[in-house]
Structure 1
Amino acid sequence: MPEQGSRFAGEVDWVFYFIFWVSAAFFVLIAGLMFAFMILYRRRHPGQEATSKVSHNTPLEVTWSVIPGVILVFMFWWGFRGFMDMRTPPDNSYQINVKAVKWVWSFEYPGGIVHDELHCEVGQPVILRMQSDDVIHSCYIPAFRVKRDVVPGRISFLWFQATQPGTYPLFCAEYCGTGHSDMRTVVVVHERGEFAKWLELADPIKRLTEEQYAEYIQDPDAFIQKYQDDPEMGEVVARLQPPQAMGEKLYKKKGCANCHSVDGTPVVGGGPSFKGVLSRDTVFSDGRTLPKDRETRENYMRRSMLDPLADIVRGYDAIMPKIALTDREIDMLIAYIESIQE
C-alpha cells in the first residue's frame, strides 16, 4: 500500500486488510475442508456404492450462517461509516477549484492564482470543486486514499485532510485518450504557515504593477537585476525568468504540449506545430489565408488562445477547448513561441 498521507488513509487501510484477511481465512478454511472431504470420503474401491450420509445439524447450520452474517454486517457498517465521512467535508474546508482537460490538471486558488500542482497546508481540510471540459476524468491521490470521477456537465467534490508534509502523486484514473498516462501531477503539502507564503509568490508575474510589467517585458534581465536586492520585490524577482522561459513553463503547465509540438512534427489528433507559425503558409478551413506580417501573426496567436474555434487551420479538427489565460500569460506564451522559430 502507498504511504499514508491523510486522515482517511489509516481507516481505509484497516478496513481493506480486515476484509482481505477474513476472506483469506475463510478461503483456507473452505478449501481445506473440501480437500479433507475429498480424501476422507473418496471411493476406496471400484465396487463401492455411493451412499448418502447427509444428516440435519441445526447448531452447525446456525453457526455457519450467523458468524459470516455478523462479519458481513460489520464490514458494511464500517465501510458505510467511512464512506459518509469521506462525503461530508467540514464547514471550515479550504476550497480549490479544479479543472480537468485533456490531458492536464488545473488548480485555481482563492485570489485567482492558477497552478498545475495541488498545494495545501498540513492539517487543513481541503475540498476540491471539480469539473471537466471534455471527457470523463478521475482525480486519484493514492496516498490520501481518495478518488472521484470528474464528469463533463457536472460539478463533483472531493475532500481530504493531509496529515504529513511532503509531495504525493496525483493521477487521472479514468482512461481519457492517448495522453491519459501523462495526465498526472503532484500534491504538495506544506508545513503550517508555509502555504500562505507559497500562495503569495505562486504567480510572480501577477505581483507586478503595470509599470513594472512593461519594464520587465522591455528588458527582463535589466529588470531582474534592478529589483533583485529590493526588500519588497526581492522574493518576487527571484521567481522571475525571461518571458520565453516563463512561456515554456506555461506551454507544459497548460497542456499545450499535448497537442502542439515545438519541433515541427505533427501530433496525432492534435493541432498545428508551434514551430514555423510565424513564417509558414497558413490557410484556414473557410479558405482565408493568413498574412505573414509579424503583427498579424501575433494577433492570430493571441486570438487563437482566447477563442480557439475562431480560426481553424485547414486539415485540423475544431477540438481545442478554451483554457483560462490572462493577458500576461498570453504574452509569455507568444514570447516562447517566437523564441523557437529560429
Structure 2
Amino acid sequence: MGDFWLPEAASTMAPKIDSLFTFVNVVSGILLVGVVTAMLWFMYRYRRQDPAERPSPVKESKLLEISWIVIPTILVLLVFNWGFKSFVAQKTIPDNAYEIRVQARSWGWSFEYPNGVTTDTLYVPADEPVKTTMSSQDVIHSFYVPAFRVKQDVLPNRYTSVWFEATKEGTYDLFCTEYCGRNHSEMDAEVKVVSRARFDEWLESAGTPDDIPLPELGEKLYTQQGCQGCHSLDGSDMVGPTWKGLYGKTDHQMADGSTVTADANYLRESILQSGAKVVEGYQNVMPSYASLSEREVTGLVEFIKEQSDKEVSEE
C-alpha cells in the first residue's frame, strides 16, 4: 500500500524519485506560504487609511534583491542536479539485467522471455535488475508501472527500453499511459514479482513445445529467408555485409558518407526498409522483408546480436 501522496514504492529507484518529489513539494509549500503571508502583510501595512494620504517613497534593498535572485538559483540548481542524477541512473541499464521482450498492441500487452515463453502477465524476479526491450505493433503506447516509478513510450517500427529492480514480492499494476484509441483505459496488465527460485520454476513450467527462443528463430529464418546467400557469419565478403561483428559497430559506413551505429533499431530498419540506409561498397539489391512478423524480425535481430557476442567471447 502507498501513502496519501504516492503509490507503494517497490523498486530501487522509487525512493530516489519520491525524495525529490517530496523536496519539490515541501519547498513549493514553504514559498507559497511565504508569498501569501507577505501579500497579506503588505495589504495591511500599506493600506491607505485616508483619501488624502500619499504613499511615502520606498528605497530599494540590495540585500533583498540579491536574496531573491541567489536563493531561487540555488534551489533550481539543486533540483536540476538531483533530478539529473536520477535520470542518468534510470537510463543506465546494468550489464547483468535480465532482458524481457515487450510487445504492445491495441489494447493489450505480451511479454516474451529468453527461452521463448510468452505471457500476458509480466513475471520478474525480485532484487534483480530487469530490462524490458519494447516495440508496438500499431500505434504509440506507454509502459508505466506506478510502484516502480518507471514510464517509457513504446513506439512502432523501433525499440525502446527501460529497466527496474523490484524490491518487494507481490502483484503490481501496469498501465498504458499514452492514449491509443477506444479501449485505451482497458489496456492494463499485472506485474508479478516473485523470488528467483519461484521465477525459475514458473519459467520452466510455462514453456510449451512450440516455443522457440528468439536467437534460434532467427537462425532458422537466416536459412529459410535466404539470408545466407548474401550475408556471411564468418566475416567473408558476399553480396551484402557480413553479420559477424555487425551488432554494436559504432562506425558503420554508409554509401552517402554518413556513419551509423549498428544497434537494434538500425538492424530492424534494414530488414523492413532495405533501401533506407545502404552500406558503403554494396548495392541496394536487398528486398524488403516487411511481411515478417514482429517476432520474426526480433528473432533475426537477436541472431545477428548473437554472432557479435560469439566473436567477443572467442576473443
TM bracket, shorter-chain basis: 0.5 to 0.7
Give the letter for the 2:20 counterpart: V
Aligned to 1:33: 38
Aligned to 2:232: none
User: Residues 281-315 of structure 1, C-alpha deviation per residue, up to 9 Å, x if partnerless?
Assistant: xxxxxxxxxxxxxxxxxxxxxxxxxxxxx9xxxxx
TM-score of the aligned structures, taking structure 1 as reference length: 0.59
- Rounded to whole Å, the distance in 1 between the matches of 2:180 and 2:294 is 18
Aligned to 1:151: 155
- Rounded to whole Å, the distance in 1 between the matches of 2:35 and 2:158 is 46
Aligned to 1:318: none
Aligned to 2:190: 186
Is residue 100–residue 112 contact of structure 2 (8 Å, CA) maintained in 1?
A: yes
- Rounded to whole Å, the distance in 1 between the matches of 2:57 and 2:108 is 66
Aligned to 1:112: 116
Name the SS for the 2:196 alignment partner. Answer: coil
Aligned to 1:8: 13
1:79 is aligned, of 76, 80, 83, to 83
Is residue 137–residue 294 contact of structure 2 (8 Å, CA) maintained in 1?
A: no
Aligned to 1:262: none
Shift of 1:59: 1.7
Give the letter for the 2:117 counterpart: I
Q: How many residues were matched structurally? A: 212
User: Residues 65-103 of structure 1, C-alpha deviation per residue, up to 9 Å, x if partnerless?
Assistant: 212211111100000000000000100001111110000
1:160 is aligned, of 144, 159, 164, to 164
Spell out the pairing of 1:66-105 with structure 2 (5 A cutoff). 66-105=70-109
TM-score of the aligned structures, taking structure 2 as reference length: 0.64
Shift of 1:323: 7.7
1:127 is aligned, of 131, 140, 144, to 131
In structure 1, runs of 5+ residues without a counterpart are: 208-309, 311-320, 326-342
Name the SS for the 1:170 alignment partner. Answer: strand
Is residue 20–residue 83 contact of structure 2 (8 Å, CA) maintained in 1?
A: yes
Larger radius of gyration: 1
- Rounded to whole Å, the distance in 2 between the matches of 1:150 and 1:53 is 60
Aligned to 1:200: 204
2:177 is aligned, of 156, 159, 173, to 173
Percent identity (aligned): 44
- Rounded to whole Å, the distance in 2 between the matches of 1:323 and 1:65 is 54
Give the letter for the 1:70 counterpart: I
Shift of 1:205: 6.0
Say if 1:91 and 1:322 are closer, same or farther in 2 by CA, change over 3 A. Answer: closer
Name the SS for the 2:100 alignment partner. Answer: strand
Give the letter for the 2:164 counterpart: F
- Rounded to whole Å, the distance in 1 between the matches of 2:293 and 2:97 is 29
User: Residues 2-61 of structure 1, C-alpha deviation per residue, up to 9 Å, x if partnerless?
Assistant: 101100110110000000010010011011101110111011122222x35321211222
Give the letter for the 1:196 counterpart: D
In structure 2, runs of 5+ residues without a counterpart are: 1-5, 212-290, 297-315
Aligned to 2:68: 64
Aligned to 1:302: none
Shift of 1:192: 2.5
Shift of 1:204: 4.8
Shift of 1:106: 0.7
Is residue 116–residue 207 contact of structure 2 (8 Å, CA) maintained in 1?
A: no
